[in-house]
Amino acid sequence: MKKDQYILGIETSCDETAASVVKNGKEIVSNIVASQIQSQKRFGGVVPEIASRHHVEKITIVIEEALKEAKLQPKDLDAVAVTEGPGLVGALLIGINAAKAFAFANGLPIVGVHHIAGHIYANELVQSMEFPLLALIVSGGHTELVVMETHGSFKLIGETRDDAAGEAYDKVARVLGLPYPGGPEIDRLATESDGEIEFPRAWLEAGSYDFSFSGLKSAVINYKHNVEQRGESIEPAHVAAGFQASVVDVLTSKTLKAAKEFGVKQVIAAGGVAANGQLRKSLEDVFENEGIPFYVPPISLCTDNAAMIAAAGTSMFNAGKRGTLAMNGNPGMELKSWH
Ligand code: KG4
Ligand code: ZN
């Protein structure tokens, strides 16, 4: 009988300090996330130096917790997988150095994982991937459509030309005077709203799977200025609803079009913005209509976590990929196939 495989995942690319043990690349044995959101809220966003400081304080304890909850000793592990990039360089380095020290001390191999591969592989923890597969990745730093022919093979077919979807959410939330992170706030306001301001949709040139959200952000700002110049005030819920409708419409339409063109067997959504209630519903509806299986992980696995890094790391590890103790943070890392 094949021995079970346990991989420790570590993630510190932004504002969550996370460690997790995943069994056989599919089963979460422990999943610890220490969020800095409360602290970063005071500044209306992530301050890199503060993020690094929090990671330093939390990383050892979070790794210990992940092992304790898994009821495992370091010797029971097969490897350590850590986010190598992209992300904040100072934040990445804390996780990478902790991973290297842990791997060296316990004689374990190390694997450097791309953060977006992690978001995609969060789905493996819920539903086995079927290829060809289309992944919509929508997070604070990324908006991408990726086609996968098999495990570890990534073909980028579209990406944002300016702001990422989550970034647009966070910036518009700021304009509306909502706290950081803005995504969940706008999601809630929009859902409760009894009206909607009509905002434009950036479709870009015909056939393009790229995205653009900065024009929408400017449209919201202009709308607010115009209303305020008339001495009136905006209804934040109506603005949130109109903004969200535009984002969801474009994301859903382009994902559907790509799924049909590439004849995929499965569509998945990933990343923090995939926690959005209206986006999940819209994607579920169109793909149910189309008869294409669509999956999105539970919300706790959409936002940053280390289980997704362990899941992607397991696939890389089994494909023979190994990092070295010379590994460094790679803030602008590109998503490369490992297949
Ligand atoms: O994946 P993630 O946790 O971190 C990055 O890798 O960037 O994504 C964070 C982003 C933030 O911009 C946040 O506002 C957004 O995801 N987000 C949401 C929701 N929950 C989080 N956006 C829209 N609706 C939500 N419910
Ligand atoms: Zn992320």
**Res. 37 pLDDT band, cuts 50 70 90:** confident
Residues in contact with ligand 1 by the CB-under-6-Å rule are 14, 139-141, 166, 169-170, 181-184, 187, 271-273, 275-276, 303-304
Residue 2 has pLDDT above 90, yes or no: no
Read off the pTM. 0.95
pLDDT in tens, 242-253: 999 999 999 999
pLDDT on residue 47? 85
pLDDT in tens, 102-145: 999 999 999 999 999 999 999 999 999 999 999 999 999 999 99
Which strand (E) or helix (H) includes residue 158?
strand 155-159
Ordered by start, the domain boundaries in the chain are 6-121+302-318, 130-296
Examine the pLDDT at 51 and tell me if it is beyond 80. Answer: yes
Taking CA atoms only, the protein residue closest to ligand 1 atom 14 is: 183
C-alpha of residue 77 to centroid of ligand 1, in Å: 31
| Closest atom of ligand 1 relative to the 166 alpha carbon | 12
CATH class, domain 130-296, is alpha beta
Q: 273 C-alpha to center of ligand 1: Å?
A: 4
Alpha carbon of 138 to ligand 2 centroid (Å)? 9
What average pLDDT score do residues 53-70 get?
A: 96
Alpha-carbon torsion, ordered 122, 127, 132, 138, to 10 deg = -30
Give 173-187 pLDDT, tens digit per residue.
999 999 989 999 999
Domains 6-121+302-318 and 130-296 share a fold: yes
Identify the nearest ligand to the CA of 139 by its number. Answer: 1
Nearest to 297 by CA among 283, 314, 316, 285: 283
Q: What is the DSSP string of 115-130?
A: HHHHHHHGGGGTS---
Mean pLDDT of 62-73: 98
* Stretch 6-15: mean pLDDT: 96
Which residue of 303, 304, 305, 308 sits with most ligand 1 atoms within 8 Å of its CB, as the best mutation to test the pocket? 303
Overall fold of domain 6-121+302-318: Nucleotidyltransferase; domain 5 (3.30.420)
